[in-house]
A and B are shown apart, each in its own frame.
Chain A
């Protein structure tokens, strides 16, 4: 039991956080709970503290909207949190799509799709930054927040809180895309929100750290990591994972049997 907990502690915590947030949002609408109201685009915590999606606000800015003080403050709070502390933690601890894409990647491993010859990744992980820039350009041309118009993330959150409509189709499409077309396709290649948090999360203090002395080069960490390129140093050098593309999901830490990976606080002074 203790071993099981050890192997899945972060995964369990993450699922608890992700699902609790959805339940709280749902309760805010359905039962009038005051803890968390709204949705991931913008919300009020305890009817007081505003939170808003900085990427949505950025698109609105590109679209030429007048941004209210509430939204600015909310976006600033979220940005500072991920920038200073969480890194790209939004993706692995908050976003509901993460559960879908994790499931797809798990299914790929179980069905051994990854082992089929010739399934080399043809796509660049930089696509998401292109999509990010493109979303701002389209926002400016069309005069509205372009990604918010098609975002499966908001679609699913709104679906849970306000009723789903055909929103479930987005979930199915992303699952199949990740399962059959491209490994870690949506979150690791396409999603501009993930790209946005990758850029912001670069600077955060909480980092995964690799201790090469303990590493037996079993490469279990690289198998589970949704952004395996960030673990380039594994078995080679003792280094923190500095890439913003790491989602701080901590799967690598828990699958490592040799204590070669762990969280660390980035030292303020670079040596």
Chain B
């Protein structure tokens, strides 16, 4: 009897250990799969979406935003779409976001993954404050850069004159024409994609990228010295000090030492 009890307990412990082992293996595979599946960066989310990391954990994949969109802009990622499954996104070359003034897709979101506040100014919904992405022009394939008049994207832009402007410069090749170059301004562009949708080239020469992908960042060490407001950023700048063989001595010593301290 005694012996049997012992072996029962051992069996239980063994079973538990085996369970934990299998679970760990399963968890590893599961995590690896998720890591792979969520890695697709080039994804345009509906207006008002949280930062991608928070969006992924907050969106419950109900599709209410998709149902609310009158233009069928938004779609939920299906298996085989190679995008985080069940989450809403849009492909502007197919259907862009038409920037509805009442933004019906946002207030219906039950989870807060689409945040009303982020697309409101002074308490009112304002689609112009949306930041779905940023339009980027490929200068090589955009025919305006060849000297051909186009401005299709400019005309399509709901905030033309702010989000896209046309810059004129002389076409030296012909000597009598002007280049009419589309320039996108990240401060105003919402990433709606109407420009990408309208672009006349075979594959769009202006296309929308997620803002984190398309935009750089100057950092606090580069300041517009002529702009009082921008100069304030200097206060955030932290000193960075790198010490190399040369900078150990004073600069004058280094200059007078021939090449010795370099080698």
Provide the residues of chain B in CB contact with A142, threshold 8 Å: 31, 34-35, 38
Question: What is the size, in residues, of chain B's interface with A at 8 Å between Cβ atoms?
Answer: 37
Does chain B have a CB within 8 A of A167? yes
Given A41-B62, A66-B58, A134-B23, A164-B53 contact (CB < 8 Å): no
Question: Interface with A: B75-83, B190-198, B255-263, which one?
Answer: B75-83
B88-103 Cβ-contact flags toward A at 8 Å (1 or 0): 0000000000000000
- From residue 165 to 222 of chain B, which have CB atoms closer than 8 A to chain A? none
**What separation, in Å, do the CA atoms of A161 and B78 have in the docked complex?**
11
- From residue 44 to 100 of chain B, which have CB atoms closer than 8 A to chain A? 53-54, 56-58, 60-64, 66-67, 75-76, 78-81, 84-86
Give the contacting residue for B66; candidates A133, A162, A164; CB below 8 A: A162
Q: With A29-B66, A162-B66, A162-B75 given, name 14 new contacts (CB 8 A).
A: A38-B62, A42-B60, A42-B62, A43-B64, A44-B108, A52-B60, A60-B111, A134-B23, A138-B27, A143-B57, A145-B57, A154-B86, A155-B79, A169-B79
Provide the residues of chain B in CB contact with A68, threshold 8 Å: 110-112
Which of A63, A144, A167 has most B Cβ within 10 Å? A144
Does chain A have a CB within 8 A of B33? yes
Provide the residues of chain B in CB contact with A143, threshold 8 Å: 53, 56-57
Question: What is the size, in residues, of chain A's interface with B at 8 Å between Cβ atoms?
Answer: 52
B60 with A148: CB separation less than 8 A: yes
**5 nearest A-B pairs in the assembled complex, by CB-CB distance:** A165-B78, A42-B62, A166-B80, A166-B79, A70-B110
B64 with A158: CB separation less than 8 A: no
Provide the residues of chain A in CB contact with B23, threshold 8 Å: 130, 133-134
Give the contacting residue for A41; candidates B22, B61, B81; CB below 8 A: B61
B57 with A65: CB separation less than 8 A: yes
Does chain A have a CB within 8 A of B26? yes
Pull 29 A–B residue pairs with CB atoms less than 8 Å apart, ordered by A: A38-B63, A42-B60, A42-B64, A60-B60, A64-B57, A65-B54, A68-B110, A74-B110, A130-B23, A133-B23, A134-B27, A138-B27, A138-B31, A141-B27, A142-B34, A142-B38, A143-B53, A145-B57, A145-B60, A148-B86, A149-B86, A155-B79, A158-B63, A162-B66, A162-B76, A165-B80, A165-B81, A166-B78, A167-B78
**What separation, in Å, do the CA atoms of A70 and B19 have in the docked complex?**
37
